[in-house]
Chain A
Amino acid sequence: DTAVSQTPKYLVTQMGNDKSIKCEQNLGHDTMYWYKQDSKKFLKIMFSYNNKELIINETVPNRFSPKSPDKAHLNLHINSLELGDSAVYFCASSQDPSTGELFFGEGSRLTVL
């Protein structure tokens, strides 16, 4: 059973489109995250939810909107996609938002043409 699962794994789309990436964790964790990894492998935190409450909201364009319907799910919706949005997006979860290690999904590679 996959602990943190993301769909889709690959996403190729045109500029200006809207797309969503879904994430689910079956670990019973309270906290979930979205990270962006660029082509140089730099990892940047985007958002974090703890028990469906937004606790981290980094400086990302407001075209990016997270949604947490329950504590096991954290989805990422992106409007009006731009070339610079091309990256690998990782979902992660942790039991404790302060001391807990992160459990990562396998990533969703977004390519904007």
Chain B
Amino acid sequence: AQSVAQPEDQVNVAEGNPLTVKCTYSVSGNPYLFWYVQYPNRGLQFLLKYITGDNLVKGSYGFEAEFNKSQTSFHLKKPSALVSDSALYFCAVRDSGTYKYIFGTGTRLKVLA
């Protein structure tokens, strides 16, 4: 069965500091991994994805994520956080053998000025 875990309900970081939002996954086939952001009362917006190739993936708004196969992780990172990055972040995984797209429980990022 495929699953994805976001172990932190909330992450607080000071503006200008680096941020990390954690995600681990479990799939039986090859993983396709995604990060999305949700602002209040809005739909989810795609940030980045890993399908194959380079383990370091760069995405929108200065975010990047590193695929680590041995640790089954796909953590989201940004070198310098902005107050406007404050939002709800979702990791998602799709098993290459199915069409099912599973979301994590979300991590609320709060960037403090």
For B32, the closest partner residue in chain A by CB is A99
CB distance A101 to B99 under 8 Å?
no
CB distance B32 to A98 under 8 Å?
yes
Report how far A97 CA is from B42 CA in the complex, Å: 23
As a 0/1 sequence over residues 33 to 50 of chain A, the CB contacts with chain B under 8 angstroms (1 = contact) are 101000011111100101
Contact of A43 among B46, B90, B94 (CB under 8 A): B90
B74 interface residue per 8 A CB criterion: no
Interface residues on B, range: 20 to 34
Say yes or no: A90-B99 contact (C-beta < 8 A), given A98-B32, A99-B51.
no
Report how far A31 CA is from B94 CA in the complex, Å: 15
Report how far A42 CA is from B104 CA in the complex, Å: 8
CB distance A56 to B103 under 8 Å?
no
Interface residues on A, range: 20 to 34
Contact of A105 among B41, B43, B51, B101 (CB under 8 A): B43
A82 interface residue per 8 A CB criterion: no
Report chain A residues within 8 Å CB of B41: 106-107
For A55, the closest partner residue in chain B by CB is B99
B105 interface residue per 8 A CB criterion: yes
Report how far A99 CA is from B96 CA in the complex, Å: 8
Contacts from B to A (Cβ < 8 Å): 32, 34, 36, 38, 41-46, 49, 51, 88, 90, 94, 96, 99-103, 105-106
Can you report 11 residue pairs joining A to B where beta carbons are below 8 Å apart? A41-B106, A42-B106, A45-B100, A50-B99, A56-B100, A90-B44, A97-B99, A98-B99, A99-B32, A101-B34, A107-B41
